[in-house]
Amino acid sequence: MILPLVLVLFLFLLILVGAQFFVVREQRATLFRFRLTEHARRIMSVALDEAFVWLGRESAEPGGKAFPWFVEGSRQPLSIPLPATGEFLTDLLPRPLEGKVLATARLVSSRVVSEAGEPFRCSPRACDAIGVFECAVDLELRDSHESGKKPLLALTGVRHHEYKVVSLVSPRDNQMPRNAYSHCFALDHALLVRFGVDEFRRSQSRSLHVPGFDLVVDQADLPPERRGKIFFGGTDPRKSSTAAPGDTPRENVVFLNIPDALASQVVFWERTLPARQDEVLHLFPELEGILASLVTQHGLQKADWIDMTGNFRAGTAPLPHASGTASRLALEARTAGLLCQGLSGADAHQPIIQGLSLAGDNASTACDPAFVDSIMEGAIRKRFLYQVVFQPDFSGARIKGTRNIPGGVLNETLPVPDFLTDPDGEYSREFPCVPIPHAPGAVSGRFATFLERLPAVVEKHPEFPLFSRFETSFRYGGRDGDLAHPPASDAFPLPRFFDTQGREIEAESGGFRPFAFHSLWLRDGVSPGELRDLDLYQPEAGIIRPRGLTRISGVVDLGEPDGNPLSIQGRGVIAADGFRLRSGLRKNGPDDLLVLLAEHGSIEICTDAPIEAVLIAIDTDGKRTGTVRARKPLNLHGALICDTLSPSTWVPATHRLRYDPSLKQPATFTYAVAVSELVRFSRVAER
């Protein structure tokens, strides 16, 4: 009776325990699977990280394996080595497990236009793009004792990241202007002052003529195709004048005074025009009075001057002129002073000092028209003195009179009074021929009368300009020219600027925006304090690592006072509201490139150490506040692009700007590739 009961109970318990056993066994199997999957996912994370790191590293430099792959937008998958993951995998997996991991990358998508449909690429050969790339990792875990069998676990992991290919230098043929917007167009120029003409007029030419200040743009040692251009915005004399009432020059030009050192740029001109007696008597009306008194004195019936002559002598001279005889220099100075008193604005600025050395400080190069033509754009003119003086010549003059004598009239010839021929006398000096100055009291006496009467003589000789003037008709460089027929609207070839929509614009226009495509910027709105976190700037190590385009909100301080130069390792643009540079910047290698772009203020230079970077100060709000302020002598090896030059804010010194030839590529692009750590998509799946 009890035996069946026991048997039933036994069977029941057996089934129960058996069921529990299978449940627990499943649980253990699940736990094993869980552990295996956890291992695999951890390996997968490490592998995907390492793959991204490899891509980031190999795309940072042009020689990297991934750099051309990104730039060319290759459709072929790129194999990625994972040495650290392999080592990690071997250590992590318990025996007898073994793993195999393979990583590849592929470009998923790319875009070559902005959100507004504006093309990033300035030419079909350009490769600017933003896109998404995929890192894919295949992982297999096997039991090493069961080779050939199906793997215990096979996972595929993918991550999508964003990448940006940005051209930092695009080809520019120095013989031709651009024909489309390239966001790195500003780097074509060694010096570009956006509101150049306006600043020149407002400062009455002091923007290019400051006592004790010089900016030497030195690129004479560069081949023509690698030289940087020099342009002052608005210098287009063919367009109607942009000058406000009272502003000079009325033409849309800037000029540079030509000093002695550049005297060979002064157009050579020497002419002499003999003056007829009637002209002499017109210019010196007091001679009639003198004659009348002589008639009385000598008891003559009547008398006339004969052979009263003189010479108008025309010549040219540097401005300022320091070599020559004291009397000549004094005469030139007086002529220039009188001219200034008759002019206004930029034309009248005194003291007359030499202009900036925009073509370098080597006189022979600066005067070489081929060299100057290769670097200058727009109407950059030279200014020198065209001087005309009148010198009476009474040495052969006589007085021919008649005297009544009984029975007739006696012709008589008398010498002129001695004071008229005295070499040191009033009538032996040279009279500057200038328009009569507006300033009251500027001239007086005989000279005032001379100047008042001079226009009537000038009108009679249209072929011979008889008024002295500051000559600003000729473009900078060279020495050829005809002062009787100065060129009209002389200018170097003009650059062409475009906005992002491809419309041609002026330099002063709001569309003048370097690196304007917002979507090409890798980061935006970064605070200055984050520069260190982002590894862009390591002050302790003295390293700047630009990569792609980064925009900072605020003013960025770089370097330490009297500190070692910061080493530039990478290529990119750092934009900020403004910059303060306390130490020099030195490129670590020839491929490195740093552009500092101040968008709402100035770039303050507090060091005289070499700065190997491009400085751009352009106010994007159109307030014209973009400028560079050199508190110490500037030693820039790169380029300088600004709204205004504002040399009054620079320390009086000789500042040097050497154009970096790597910024001017006749045929090739310089790119920066940046990859974003941000994961746009991630998935790990079992196969």
Q: Report the interface residues with other proteins, using CB under 8 A.
A: 2-3, 6, 10, 13-14, 17, 20-21, 23-24, 27-28, 31, 34-35, 38, 42, 45-46, 49-50, 52-54, 56-57, 60, 83-85, 87-88, 91-92, 533-536, 547, 675, 677
Q: DSSP characters for 624-671?
A: ---EEEESS--EEEEEEEES---GGGS-SSEEEEEE-GGG--SS--EE
Min. distance of Cβ 3 from other proteins in angstroms?
8
Whole-number Å distance between alpha carbons of 255 and 232: 11
Min. distance of Cβ 87 from other proteins in angstroms?
7
Min. distance of Cβ 680 from other proteins in angstroms?
15
What is the sign, positive or negative, of the torsion defined by CA atoms of 239, 242, 248, 253?
negative
Residues 542-558 as b/e (b if ≥16 CB within 10 A, e otherwise) read bbbbbbbbbbbeebbbb
Min. distance of Cβ 588 from other proteins in angstroms?
17
Reduced to 3 states (helix: H, G, I; strand: E, B; else coil), residue 491 is coil
Between the two ends of the chain, the Cα-to-Cα distance in Å is 58
Residue closer to other proteins by CB (options 5, 685) is: 5
Residue closer to other proteins by CB (options 35, 239) is: 35
Min. distance of Cβ 27 from other proteins in angstroms?
5
Give the torsion through C-alpha atoms of 604, 608, 611, 616, to 10 deg: 30
- Interior CA angle at 560 toward 557 and 561, to 5°? 115
Min. distance of Cβ 535 from other proteins in angstroms?
5
129: β partners: 165
Tokens 């009984």 correspond to: 406
Tokens of 411: 């012709």
Contacts of 296 (CB under 8 A, 6+ apart): none
Min. distance of Cβ 82 from other proteins in angstroms?
10
Residue closer to other proteins by CB (options 38, 221) is: 38
Min. distance of Cβ 679 from other proteins in angstroms?
11
Min. distance of Cβ 28 from other proteins in angstroms?
6
Tokens of 313: 């002598």
Residue closer to other proteins by CB (options 103, 254) is: 103
Residue closer to other proteins by CB (options 17, 409) is: 17
Min. distance of Cβ 92 from other proteins in angstroms?
5
Residue closer to other proteins by CB (options 92, 261) is: 92
Min. distance of Cβ 573 from other proteins in angstroms?
16
Whole-number Å distance between alpha carbons of 570 and 588: 8
Min. distance of Cβ 7 from other proteins in angstroms?
9
Residue closer to other proteins by CB (options 3, 488) is: 3
Let me know: does 461 contact 273? Beta carbons within 8 Å: yes
Reduced to 3 states (helix: H, G, I; strand: E, B; else coil), residue 280 is helix
Residue closer to other proteins by CB (options 52, 497) is: 52
Whole-number Å distance between alpha carbons of 455 and 392: 17
Min. distance of Cβ 541 from other proteins in angstroms?
13
Residue closer to other proteins by CB (options 54, 521) is: 54
Whole-number Å distance between alpha carbons of 209 and 204: 9
Residue closer to other proteins by CB (options 24, 439) is: 24
Tokens 């069946």 correspond to: 4
Let me know: does 431 contact 350? Beta carbons within 8 Å: no
Cis peptide before 351 (omega within 30 of 0): yes
Residues 667-678 as b/e (b if ≥16 CB within 10 A, e otherwise) read eebbbbbbbbee
Whole-number Å distance between alpha carbons of 149 and 96: 14
Closest C-alpha to 187, from 645, 655, 658, 641: 641
Whole-number Å distance between alpha carbons of 687 and 683: 12
Tokens of 280: 């002499």
Whole-number Å distance between alpha carbons of 48 and 214: 56
Residue closer to other proteins by CB (options 208, 675) is: 675
Reduced to 3 states (helix: H, G, I; strand: E, B; else coil), residue 447 is helix
DSSP classification of residue 519:
G
Whole-number Å distance between alpha carbons of 426 and 445: 12
Let me know: does 499 contact 286? Beta carbons within 8 Å: no
Residue closer to other proteins by CB (options 26, 560) is: 26
Min. distance of Cβ 681 from other proteins in angstroms?
17
Min. distance of Cβ 99 from other proteins in angstroms?
14
Residue closer to other proteins by CB (options 15, 410) is: 15
Residue closer to other proteins by CB (options 25, 125) is: 25
Reduced to 3 states (helix: H, G, I; strand: E, B; else coil), residue 512 is coil
Residue closer to other proteins by CB (options 47, 210) is: 47
Crossing angle of helices 2-58 and 83-92, rounded to 10°: 160
Residue closer to other proteins by CB (options 27, 395) is: 27
Min. distance of Cβ 49 from other proteins in angstroms?
5
Min. distance of Cβ 563 from other proteins in angstroms?
22
Closest C-alpha to 548, from 164, 16, 263, 35: 164
Closest C-alpha to 615, from 582, 640, 588: 640
DSSP classification of residue 486:
P
Q: DSSP characters for 347-394?
A: GG-SS--PPP-TT-S-HHHHT-HHHHHHHB-B-EEEEEEEEEEEEEE-
Residue closer to other proteins by CB (options 95, 149) is: 95
**What Å distances lie between residue 222 and 228, 365, 375, 661, CA to CA?**
9, 12, 11, 7
